[in-house]
Structure 1
Amino acid sequence: MAKTLKVPHTLVLLLGMMLIALISTWVIPQGFFDTATTESGRQVVLPGTYHIAQESVQLTPWDLLKAIPRAFAAAQDVIFFVMIVGGVLAIARATGTVDALIGRLLEKHGDKPQKLIFMVVFCFAIASSAIGTAGEYIPFVLILVALCKAMKLDAMTAVGMIIAGYGIGYGVSAFNPFTVLIAQQIAEVPVYSGIWLRFAIFVPFVLIGFHHVWSYTKKVQLDPNASMMKDVPCPLAGQTQPSYPQLNGRHQAVLATFIITLVCAVWGIATQGWYLYELGGLFIAWGIIISILGKLSADEAANRFIEGVSDLVTTAVLIGVARGIALILEDGQILHTIVNGLSTPLSYVAAEISAVGMLLIQTLLNMFIPSGSGQAYVTMPLMVPVGDLVGVPRQVAVLAYQFGDGFSNMIVPTNAVLMGILGMAGVPYTHWFRFCLPLMAKLMFAAATVLVLAVMFGYGLDVQPQLVS
């Protein structure tokens, strides 16, 4: 009898990828592009300046081991934010508000999961498209897992709703300040120009994400054995309640403060440049407020917070190790070599093919440069002159960057937010990969079609800078 293939633990897979990255630094030539500093203080690469490093670096297995704690330090903002959110959400559960909310949602949508799935995917996509939200979705993970469990669905459905909305929102963003604005500035096209196309494709791409999640959900409803999570324990095991409390005034007050907290987060991100440190402080403040509203003693609130944090230790470890992969590539001086090797062939093909090639390159590079803005500063200065050479409008190059960065956020294991969401929901990365890969294929095909048509119909030529020979 053939042995059943045993899928390694996600941590084993990530450590394996770090080892592959280390070996790559021994065989791939080390080199750099020259860089320049923009008015905002960001470093951008200069096209045509790639050169072999004068002094090569020989990383050793000892460097790989040291990279792991360094990666934890580099990802500390995400790690601590995830832990804080987990702790505060545990306090919210202790007030009974989460269970009451789930009960209320079940009353309204218990027999219409397709409506709930569309609402979540659509709303999260809008938020990511507008202001680039990502880690801010972490507070919703356990709530949606609990809701899906009550509807006899699995954690994969909950994660699918969140990440499909997050990735598609980034990919077809109308005016995400962390991606669209930066990429258009580097490409020297008017900020937020070409927005009509991004608005036009938003709903069709959201529908692709919704259909994928809903198709899986229907299979699980018809046959629970079709669930990809049947061999994985639910993170909320042992917390099942036969009935849910009524949503009373105290619960409504807690929910009101949660909405106020989210509004403050949106305001801070949009106007004050807030990120995870400020958001972490904001959620701590919310935790204190709901402890008072929920009439929890100081000791009870503290114990609940610690319990919530301890539940996310595994998630924190995965986030830290995921950051180590890019760290090894940077230390080994091969990141720019990979970018140069991928971008050079584009100058030898037709414009339509080159646009699709840009999409594929941006998708691959998101594995090594998981920061959206960081990827823009590294790749856009290279893609713009290549596009000028082969006839790809700069606006199309920006769109290819958006698609590649946004959609691959849903599947690359170096994305700390993705690993945090999966860890909190108890979904192994290998299971998620099998769920997400078909969705990625659908989105990439749709994106490639849009890019080819955009080149054919001259999208962005009205704002194309006139080049001086």
Structure 2
Amino acid sequence: MSHSFRVPHTLILLLAMMLVALIATWIVPQGFFETKTLESGRQMVIAGTYQLVEERQYLTPWDLLKAIPRAFAAAQDVIFFVLIVGGVLAIARATGTVDALIGRLLEKHGKHPERLIFMVVFCFALASSSIGTAGEYIPFVIILVALCKAMRLDAMTAVGMIVAGYGIGYGVSAFNPFTVLIAQQIAEIPVYSGIWLRLAIFLPFVLIGFHHVWQYTKRVQADPNNSIMLDVPCPLAGKTAPDYPRLNRRHQLILGSFIITLIVAVTGIATQGWYLYELGAVFIAWGILTAIIGGLSADDSAKQFISGVSDLVTTALLIGVARGIALILDDGQILHSLVYGMSLPLSYVPAEISATGMLMMQTVLNFFIPSGSGQAYVTMPLMAPLGDLVGVSRQVSVLAYQFGDGLSNMIIPTNAVLMGILGMAGVPYGHWFRFCLPLLLKLMAAAALVLILAVMFGYGLDVQPGLIH
């Protein structure tokens, strides 16, 4: 990369994207689909109802400025969850538990980082694929960054492990309730049908992610000057003890309570519909328990919590501003226009090309609608009947949506979870983009190949509406 060009600060990038979105609302035709309210309270668009607005409404720079505090309010659940996790982990770190855990992991995997990388990518991909975990990975960021630092690797390796697992898990999800379940219901095909293909491609996609992170890690091991993070100070500089404490009984109790906390969180998500407010409460409870088991005084616990929160204020700011881009597009009434305009060319090409076109369309739209379920409600009512017209089964349309939504989660700056992970690890977005783009291109090529083969071999025709007897 040329030294004459310097990537702006992530905050400047996001503000520039908000400005571009504002200008787009002056140029792109304003229009909307009619929507209907579902039992869940979500709005779903109705295919074939797109119409232009009678009179264009112009947003002003003042509306842009107002969108920033509104975006903070819209993203408050993610912002406060990140701050709570940062504070609670600071309490856990003060007890010596995190350093003791790192020391134990170094003993087991210190000379074989490839084991650790594969284990993290595989486990995170499995969790995202099955129960749709995303923000729950944020507590692991500091631990993995510290572990990589101790193994003389950089923070990019730690983030690569987490985000590759997270993105691939969503992209090839077998039965994620927030994406597959919703998309199949909207497409009116049996829930969890076609699971055999999604299970079959899970490991190959995980191996692509593992290989990309491991190849980078080997280059950094061979020569630390190969690190993309050379010009960025480690967020844990001076915080990691050179001599790791042994895992004692208190540490084991705290780690055991952490595992129980995760089990409670996952159970709540699966059975009670919990999300970030409830998860935040669960982690606060774990923080209090950790302080008691670790023998910290109330004053020390409070100081550690505030210190951990203050370290993540920058991250919270980035998450809030990232949400503003979608707000501007929505206020400017061009979000539905973008969906409609992108869907039109797909009806004029062969089925195989149309399927890969759906993949590209869903990938682009994920930038504007970073919520997986939100994207399903906006795009699937259009993609399913469009697929019927061009010879793409509804099962393939759902698969294209999954790939486009999940894989691009790894790189779009409007994804609040990604910005939270990068912020906690101290990885600037421009540096992450350089690392992640080649991985995304490999995964997208594999996804396009799967879609073409799925169309050729009639994947999903057995459950296609109108063909079921």
Aligned to 2:465: 465
**Deviation of 1:246 (Å):** 0.3
Alignment check: 8 A CA contact 2:183 2:376 kept? yes
The one-letter code matched in structure 2 to 1:446 is A
Distance 1:240 1:282 in 2: 27
Aligned to 1:6, the other structure's residue is in SS state coil
Which residue matches 2:419? 419
Deviation at 1:88, TM superposition (A): 0.1
Query: Could you say which residue in structure 2 is the equivalent of 1:74?
Result: 74
Structure 2 counterpart of 1:154, which letter? Answer: D
2:131 alignment partner in structure 1? 131
Per-residue CA deviations over 1:113-147 (Å, capped at 9, x if unaligned) read 00000000000000000100000000000000000
| Equivalent residue number for residue 239 of structure 2 | 239
Instruction: Summarize deviations over 1:373-430 as a string: whole Å, max 9, x none.
Output: 0000000000011100000000000000000000000000000000000000000000
CA shift for structure 1 position 40: 3.0
Q: Deviations over 1:40-63 (max 9, x none)?
A: 332111111110012322101011
CA distance in 2, matches of 1:173, 1:129: 4
Runs of 4+ aligned structure 1 residues displaced above 6 Å come to none
- How far apart, CA to CA, are the structure 2 residues paired with 1:78 and 1:102? 27
Q: Which residue of 2 aligns with 1:294?
A: 294
Query: C-alpha offsets along residues 274-329 of structure 1, whole Å, 9 cap, x if unaligned?
Result: 00000000000000000000000000000000000000000000000000000000
Equivalence map 1:132-151=2 (5 Å): 132-151=132-151
Deviation at 1:36, TM superposition (A): 1.6
1:57 matched to 2:85? The reply is no
Amino acid corresponding to residue 99 of structure 1 in structure 2: D
Letter in 1 for 2:204: P
The one-letter code of the counterpart of 1:107 is E
Q: Deviation digits for residues 222-258 of structure 1, max 9, x if unmatched?
A: 0100000010000001113221000011100000000
1:261 alignment counterpart: 261
| TM-score, normalised relative to structure 2 | 0.99
Superposed, 1:366-377 pairs within 5 Å as: 366-377=366-377
Q: Which residue of 2 aligns with 1:115?
A: 115
Secondary structure class of the residue paired with 2:368: coil
Opposite residue 15 of structure 2, the aligned amino acid is L
Contact persistence 2:172–2:403 (CA under 8 A): yes
CA distance in structure 1 between the aligned counterparts of 2:286 and 2:57, rounded to whole angstroms: 47
Question: Which whole-Å CA distance do the structure 2 matches of 1:157 and 1:183 have between them?
Answer: 33
Alpha-carbon offset, residue 467 of structure 1: 7.2
What is the CA-CA distance between 1:207 and the residue it aligns to? 0.2
Q: Aligned to 2:367, what secondary structure does the other structure show?
A: coil
Task: Specify the SS of the correspondent of 1:367.
Answer: helix
SS in 2 for 1:5: coil
**Matches of 2:345 and 2:320, distance apart in 1:** 34
- Paired with 1:37 and 1:79, the residues of 2 have a C-alpha distance of 28
Shift, 1:3, TM fit: 6.7
Q: Is the 8 A contact 2:99 2:240 kept in 1?
A: no
Would the aligned equivalents of 2:461 and 2:467 in 1 still touch at CA under 8 Å? Answer: no
CA–CA separation in structure 1 for the residues paired with 2:41 and 2:78: 23
SS in 1 for 2:160: helix
Secondary structure, aligned partner of 2:44: strand
Structure-1 residue corresponding to 2:200: 200
TM-score scaled by length of structure 1: 0.99
Question: Does residue 408 in structure 1 map to residue 429 in structure 2?
Answer: no
The code of the aligned residue for 1:131 comes to I
Query: 3-state DSSP class of the match of 2:450?
Result: helix
The residue aligned with 2:100 is 100
CA drift at 1:5:
1.5
**Cα offset, 1:271, TM superposition:** 0.1
Percentage of pairs with the same residue: 80
CA gap of 1:441–1:175, structure 2 versus 1, over 3 A, is same
**Partners of 2:45 and 2:304 in 1: how far apart?**
48
Q: Distance in 2 between matches of 1:259 and 1:291?
A: 16
Q: Which amino acid in 2 is paired with 1:219?
A: R
Deviation at 1:263, TM superposition (A): 0.1
CA RMSD for the aligned pairs? 1.0
Report if the CA contact (8 A) 2:131-2:270 is conserved: yes
Letter in 2 for 1:443: L
Equivalences, count: 467
Residues 91, 287 of structure 2: 8 Å contact kept: yes
